């Protein structure tokens, strides 16, 4: 357990244990004074991404070639690489280095059921002992979360043993494969590959699940939801923040597309209410994702459907926010109460083993 060290916000100069040293600003200053503090935060994300040879932000070259795999919708210029690192333009042609039917950049393993899945508390897989989830970890992402729990994917080699065709990956499923879950990183930059794998596995009776930041293009979201609905699987959205400025500070990306995609998926919840089709989750980052932020997220979810399950996940210090404390039991309880107050009726605290005092 990390000791709480008081740090000072560079804008309001308040001192607290829940100000990230790398971010430098408290949540209130980010939300109220983003025009002032945003330049530093955007520069921070660019510096971090440069260490992994990734562009600072989604590209917007006027004469670039459009990539529409995810909602970043990069326009990539000659010799440039897209935000996710999987697309580049060579001699005027958009080259896909991963995320196609022929090449997914990923790792996979068999996760025995029941798993520590975001949806385990409402998923029918919880009672499937002896069977397993085929866990597919995609090695690219459409965001740049400073607290990423799985940041090592940024070091992924685009060649070699982490490259699989859709058919090769689908072939590892066997009679004990109850479900598949695409996560990462995130599946959004590699949706053509994931959907091709899903089509094959659905034909074998495997349930199709997704754990995502919600940044896939609309047409891919619709296909993903349809596959989950048909097979008995689900799509789990990680709603990181409701305030757009706070979301930008933590992830480097606006949340507008995420909220639109979640709305589209959430509006289909009643097509299968007995086995939840859509689940939401939020990581309780101390000092940044407080009970107030959870209230706004939960109110947004409740405005779509109050029955959508919502999981509040305990935070563990990682990546560029390793100086932050663990979520406390009190913080988690207050967030849970806020979610209920906002109108949701099915709220859960996850990763309880990580909760601090």
Q: Which residues pair with 81 in a beta bridge?
A: 88
Task: Report whether 296 contacts 261 (CB < 8 A).
Answer: no
E strands, 36-195, in order: 65-66, 75-76, 87-90, 93-96, 104-112, 132-138, 163-164, 177-184
Identify whether 21 is part of a domain.
Answer: no
Residue 32 CB-half CA count within 13 A: 7
What CA–CA distance (Å, rounded) separates 107 from 139?
Answer: 8
- Dihedral-angle region of residue 187 (phi above 0 means left; psi in -120 to 50 means alpha; beta otherwise): alpha
What total of structural domains would you count in the chain? 1
Distance of CA 278 to the CA centre of its chain: 14
Identify whether 72 is part of a domain.
Answer: no
Task: Report whether 123 contacts 131 (CB < 8 A).
Answer: no
Q: pLDDT value at position 158?
A: 60
Q: How many CB atoms sit inside 10 A of residue 99's CB?
A: 27
Q: pLDDT value at position 153?
A: 87
Identify whether 73 is part of a domain.
Answer: no
Q: Which two tokens stand for residue 252?
A: 């480097």
What CA–CA distance (Å, rounded) separates 297 from 268?
Answer: 19
Identify whether 91 is part of a domain.
Answer: no
For residue 116, the domain's CATH number is: 3.20.20.70
Q: pLDDT value at position 14?
A: 85
Q: Which residues contact 316 (CB under 8 A, 6 or more apart)?
A: 149, 326, 351, 354
CA angle at residue 116 from 280 to 274, to 5 degrees? 50
Q: Which two tokens stand for residue 130?
A: 């002896």
Each residue's pLDDT tens digit in the chain (357 positions)?
444 567 899 999 988 778 999 999 999 999 999 999 999 999 999 999 999 999 999 999 999 999 999 999 999 999 999 999 999 999 999 999 999 999 999 999 999 999 888 999 998 888 899 999 999 999 999 999 999 999 988 876 665 558 999 999 999 999 999 999 999 999 999 999 999 999 999 999 999 999 999 999 999 999 999 999 999 999 999 999 999 999 999 999 999 999 999 999 999 999 999 999 999 999 999 999 999 999 999 999 999 999 999 999 999 999 999 999 999 999 999 999 999 999 999 999 999 999 988
Identify whether 16 is part of a domain.
Answer: no
Q: pLDDT value at position 1?
A: 41
What CA–CA distance (Å, rounded) separates 335 from 294?
Answer: 6
Identify whether 319 is part of a domain.
Answer: yes
Return the SS3 of 184.
Answer: strand
Q: Structural domain of residue 134, as residue ranges? A: 104-354
Identify whether 280 is part of a domain.
Answer: yes
Identify whether 1 is part of a domain.
Answer: no
């Amino acid at each position: 357990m990390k000791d709480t060290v008081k740090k000072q916000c560079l804008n309001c100069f308040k001192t607290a244990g829940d100000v990230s040293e790398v971010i430098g600003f408290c949540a209130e200053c980010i939300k109220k004074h983003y025009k002032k503090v945003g330049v530093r935060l955007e520069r921070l994300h660019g510096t971090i991404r440069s260490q992994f040879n990734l562009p600072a932000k989604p590209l917007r070259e006027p004469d670039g070639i459009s990539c529409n795999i995810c909602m970043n919708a990069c326009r990539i210029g000659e010799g440039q690489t897209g935000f996710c690192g999987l697309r580049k333009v060579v001699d005027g042609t958009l080259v896909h280095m991963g995320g196609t039917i022929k090449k997914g950049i990923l790792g996979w393993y068999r996760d025995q059921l029941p798993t520590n899945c975001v949806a385990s508390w409402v998923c029918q897989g919880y009672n499937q002992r002896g069977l397993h989830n085929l866990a597919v970890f995609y090695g690219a992402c459409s965001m740049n979360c400073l607290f990423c729990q799985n940041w090592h994917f940024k070091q992924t080699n685009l060649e070699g043993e982490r490259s699989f065709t859709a058919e090769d990956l689908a072939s590892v499923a066997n009679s004990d494969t109850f479900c598949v879950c695409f996560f990462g990183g995130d599946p959004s930059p590699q949706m053509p590959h994931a959907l091709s794998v899903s089509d094959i596995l659905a034909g074998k009776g495997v349930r199709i699940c997704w754990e995502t930041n919600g940044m896939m293009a609309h047409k891919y979201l619709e296909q993903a939801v349809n596959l989950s609905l048909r097979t008995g699987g689900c799509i789990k959205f990680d709603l990181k923040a409701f305030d757009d400025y706070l979301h930008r500070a933590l992830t480097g990306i606006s949340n507008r597309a995420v909220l639109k995609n979640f709305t589209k998926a959430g509006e289909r919840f009643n097509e299968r209410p007995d086995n939840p089709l859509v689940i939401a989750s939020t990581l309780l980052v101390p000092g940044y994702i407080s009970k107030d932020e959870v209230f706004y997220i939960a109110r947004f979810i409740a405005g779509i459907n109050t029955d959508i399950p919502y999981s509040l996940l305990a935070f563990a210090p990682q990546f560029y926010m390793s100086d932050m404390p663990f979520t406390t039991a009190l913080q988690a309880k207050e967030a849970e109460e806020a979610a209920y107050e906002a109108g949701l009726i099915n709220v859960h605290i996850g990763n309880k083993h990580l909760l601090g005092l």
